[in-house]
Structure 1
Amino acid sequence: MKIVLSLFFACMYFSCYSQSHDITKEKWHWGNPSKQDTTAGYAQVLKVDNVLYISGAVTTKITPEGIRQVYEALEKSLKSYGATFQNVVKENLYTTDLEAMKTYNSVRKAFYKGDFPAATWVQVSRLYMIDAKLEVELVAHLPK
């Protein structure tokens, strides 16, 4: 009996039940034929089922123009699958200067047209690109 229970719990722990671990991923990356950046190792947009995972768009300046450039790049990422900012359900914003971002938040808000997603804003000491000051990533849902 102990062996049977041990095998049962081992199967539970190691997922012995027949369950597929395969998912279908579609990718988009700025017109790149491989649909991903193989140097850094990422795709700009990854679609699984009806969910878009959008990698961060960056700027080196936290000004109205810099913020607008970030959100225009995100808009292009969304449009690659026919989505808009109204499909966005989660936004993660990373910046080296949170106070400056708060000052120009109206630029960001204009892209959402009053339909804001869940959002997290974090101040960091630096981003992947050493001179970047702002990076924003999104999760969006497409209609089923």
Structure 2
Amino acid sequence: MKKLVTTVVVLMLAGVVYAQSGQSTIEKQKFNLSKEGEDNAGYAQAVKAGNTIYISGTVAGGDMATALTKVYDRLQQTLAAYGATFQNVVKENLYTTDIDEVKKHTDVRKKYYKGDWPAATWVQIQRLYSPNASLEIELVAVLPDK
């Protein structure tokens, strides 16, 4: 009996080592808006894994209404690369250096979602990675099963 238990434990550990060896990886489909800039910083604009699209923070600066429009237009472009729209978005994280300005221009955001709101988090921060940016938005979108 002891030999059987030892054999089972060894087989279980072998399975764990195989799973951790990188042999079972997920397929990722990447999208870049600016491959050179993204490679320099070490990220992809978006990564699709399974039916889920993870879109990196997209930034803009200047007056907030213009910044919001620029960011949502770029996000729309990224979603379209996967055949998705804002109606596929399930989560939005918005970071800004001026939350009061964002709140004044929610009408800009609303036209993209068309009443189909995602879960959302809006946070005011001191600064963003890009020194001239005042706004950064990241999204998670889900495509329907095929």
Counterpart-to-counterpart distance in 2, 1:123 and 1:62: 16
- 2:144 matched residue in structure 1: 143
Deviations 1:95-132 (A, max 9, x none): 00001100101101110000000000111000000111
Counterpart-to-counterpart distance in 2, 1:29 and 1:44: 5
Counterpart-to-counterpart distance in 2, 1:16 and 1:28: 32
Equivalent residue letter for 2:86: F
Deviations 1:43-70 (A, max 9, x none): 1110000100001111112422221111
Asked if 1:23 corresponds to 2:26, the answer is yes
Unaligned runs of 5+ in 2: none
TM-score (norm 2): 0.82
Residue 21 (structure 1) shift: 4.2
* Percent identity of equivalent pairs: 48
Aligned length: 135
Deviations 1:25-45 (A, max 9, x none): 11010274x8x8210011111
TM-score (norm 1): 0.83
- 1:40 matched residue in structure 2: 41
**CA RMSD between the two structures:** 2.4
Structure whose CA Rg is larger: 2
SS where residue 92 of structure 2 aligns?
A: strand
- 1:68 matched residue in structure 2: 69
Unaligned runs of 5+ in 1: none
